[in-house]
Structure 1
Amino acid sequence: MVYKYALMPIVAWFAAGTLKFMVNYIRFQKQAVNLIGNGGFPSTHSTIMSSTVFLIGLSEGLSSPIFGLGVAVLMITVIDALGIRRAVGKQAKAINRYMVSGQHSEPVLRERQGHSPVEVLGGLSLGLLLAYLFHQI
């Protein structure tokens, strides 16, 4: 497949988004539409990056320089999802509590920003599965 590296992130984004919506629909029913975006299972960012990096590793070899670079960027993505973005979500929750106790009647900031380790692991696993399937085509 000529465009496999360009298509992989798009397929991964669609697969992770679809799975995330299905999980949210099972857990929260009609509120699932409001939960579209950052946060949740699986991590879309982790799925997109890992699928592309794993596809490179499977196709070009684990010793290729581009695979090593991909692993480094994937690590930054995972650290960001688990750390910085998760902290932003916690701050938004605290600010929303403060705002609700003041003059605003409903939360203003989106609280679901980062991911739990399970959500990131789900994204990494989905990425590996998608890369393997793409590599077989």
Structure 2
Amino acid sequence: MRSIAEMAISSTSRLFTTDNSLPNSSSSSQPVYMNYALISALIAFALAQSIKVFITCYKEHRWDPKRFLGSGGMPSSHSATVTALAVAVGLHDGIGSSTFATALILACVVMYDATGVRLQAGRQAEVLNQIVYELPAEHPLAESMPLHELLGHTPPQVIAGGLLGMMTSTIIYLISHSGNYT
């Protein structure tokens, strides 16, 4: 019978070998560029950020490439990213898997935070910027840089991001698995 130390060493050495495949896992040895969940999340993020640029262009009649990387706005790229990840994991590993449970809880925490703490922090930044703007010119804080106000998301922005993430992940899944059913 093996000792606990031998089993721990054996398990640890398996983690650091070049073949990271898990038992009963058919695709964990694929390269990272073939990782369906990762690709889905990255594409959902890129789509959400691109949509923000076009919405800004449409609403404000100006091109703002900073929106490609900025936070806040419609749709929530954070929500799109984590929702795409959760859906991809659910489709790939099954909704009964612990990886899906982990991804789902992560998505819920991120979306709750976006509409809670981050949204309130953005509103506080708005108020603080207004206070600083109204300070007399000789006040030491009058020349301070304004705080970033677009931090969080409204519930419709989070819902739109979540829907975008679900659609992105599902479409990529259908495309990547379309040849498997013939």
Q: C-alpha separation between the residues in 2 aligned to 1:31 and 1:110?
A: 19
Whether the 8 Å CA contact 2:41–2:81 is kept in 1: the answer is yes
Gaps of 5+ in 1: none
Counterparts of 1:1-137 in structure 2, within 5 Å, are 2-30=34-62, 32-33=64-65, 35=67, 37-102=70-135, 103=137, 104=142, 108-136=146-174, 137=176
Secondary structure of the 1:115 match is coil
Deviation at 1:13, TM superposition (A): 1.5
Q: C-alpha separation between the residues in 1 aligned to 2:172 and 2:67?
A: 29
Q: C-alpha separation between the residues in 2 aligned to 1:77 and 1:23?
A: 23
Q: C-alpha separation between the residues in 2 aligned to 1:78 and 1:40?
A: 14
Deviation at 1:8, TM superposition (A): 2.0
Residues 101-110 or 89-98, more deviating: 101-110
* Structure 1 runs, 4 residues or longer, greater than 3 Å off: 31-36, 103-107
Q: C-alpha separation between the residues in 2 aligned to 1:87 and 1:20?
A: 21
The residue type paired with residue 27 of structure 1 is: K
Q: C-alpha separation between the residues in 2 aligned to 1:35 and 1:68?
A: 32
Bigger Rg, which one: 2
Deviation at 1:12, TM superposition (A): 1.5
Whether the 8 Å CA contact 1:90–1:111 is kept in 2: the answer is yes
TM-score, normalization by structure 1: 0.91
Secondary structure of the 1:30 match is coil
The residue type paired with residue 56 of structure 2 is: N
Q: How many residues align?
A: 137
Deviation at 1:30, TM superposition (A): 1.1
Deviation at 1:3, TM superposition (A): 2.1
Secondary structure of the 2:54 match is helix
Give CA-to-partner distance per residue, 1:82-108, whole Å, 9 cap, x none. Answer: 001001101100110100001337971
